[in-house]
Amino acid sequence: MMLGRTANGLFWMFRYIERAENTARLIDAGVRMSLTASNGSDDEWVSVLKSAGAEDAYRQHHETVTGPDAIDFLLRDTANPSSVMSVIDSARNNARMVRTALTREAWESTNECWIEMKHRLSRRVRDTDLPGVLDMIKQRTGLIRGAFHGTMLRNEIFNFSRIGTFIERADNTARILDVKYYLLLPAVTYVGSSLDNVQWVSILRSVSAHRSYGWVYESDLNPVNIADFLILNGRMPRSLAYCHEKISNNLGYLAAEYSERHPAHDTALEILESFRNRDIRAIIDAGLHQFLEDFITRNARLGNEIAQAYRFY
């Protein structure tokens, strides 16, 4: 038995931690692109802002999109509720709120992450410091995950945390794909062009999959395989299918523990079914953009249904 508010706090704590890590990865990919691309690097920052769901907020504060401004906005601007600093602050506040549900290790790794971010993100990050700061964000969030996995009991607390992680991660992967979906459409690919290769690597890099792609597909980069990897591959930990497998499992444990099913369980299964026995070509032919938009909506709806089922508010 746990408080609805605690379930809510855990769900959001882990969504925020996941978001911090994803944003760091997006910035990393953006930086690589801007170093590689001969021109149009500011376009790249527009798509990074879009993928982070921060474009509108950014434009309220800046007239033009530039690399340094975009990076600062995504990393540490408190006017951006999704900046790394903002979400780590929110994650820690949630952790404080659910302190009694966390092991000492899980809490301290979160608190220490926040302490270091406060310090490292206290002023604008210089270009030369950026790689180090991005690494630090990935390391610190990784430490939280490690402490959490190593010490937390596999019970409802764990389930709500995991559900938060994977709802956030699925949303993030879908957004990255949706912003760049046109690059993955066979009709507009310029096979062999170096720009495309760079773009494709960038997509993979923003989900830390540029190495693992090669382990799974014994071929050069091609857009269909990339889409397959990020949407349907059940072993790729950031794919939509993988995330929803985990969400369904965790919801299943909750249903068993509480002996109670909710509409959220049906929604989750429905989403999972949309990945099962599907061929990536069929998805692309039916409209990749539409598929992703639908997914983002349904994923968000599932989050709301879970909040309702477990009395988050």
Rounded CA-CA distance 259/162 in Å is 20
Amino acid at 203: I
Residue from 108, 245, 293, 294 binding other proteins (CB under 8 A): 108
Rounded CA-CA distance 111/123 in Å is 20
Nearer to other proteins, 42 or 108 (CB): 108
Query: Rg (Cα) of the chain, in Å, rounded?
Result: 19
Rounded CA-CA distance 148/160 in Å is 13
Site string for other proteins, 254-273 (x = CB under 8 A): x---x-x-------------
Q: Which residues between 142 and 171 bind other proteins (CB under 8 A)? A: 156
Residue from 96, 138, 261, 298 binding other proteins (CB under 8 A): 96
Rounded CA-CA distance 165/178 in Å is 20
- Token pair belonging to 226: 């990339």
Q: Please tell me whether residue 235 binds other proteins under the rule CB under 8 A.
A: no
Continuous segment of H or E residues that includes residue 253? helix 240-258
Nearer to other proteins, 155 or 193 (CB): 155
Nearer to other proteins, 117 or 280 (CB): 117
Nearer to other proteins, 111 or 212 (CB): 111
Q: Which of the stretches 92-100, 171-179, 208-216, 267-275 binds other proteins when contact is defined by CB under 8 A?
A: 92-100
CB 144 within 8 A of CB 109: yes
Footprint of other proteins (CB under 8 A): 1-5, 7, 93, 96-97, 99-100, 104, 107-108, 111-112, 115, 156, 254, 258, 260, 310-311
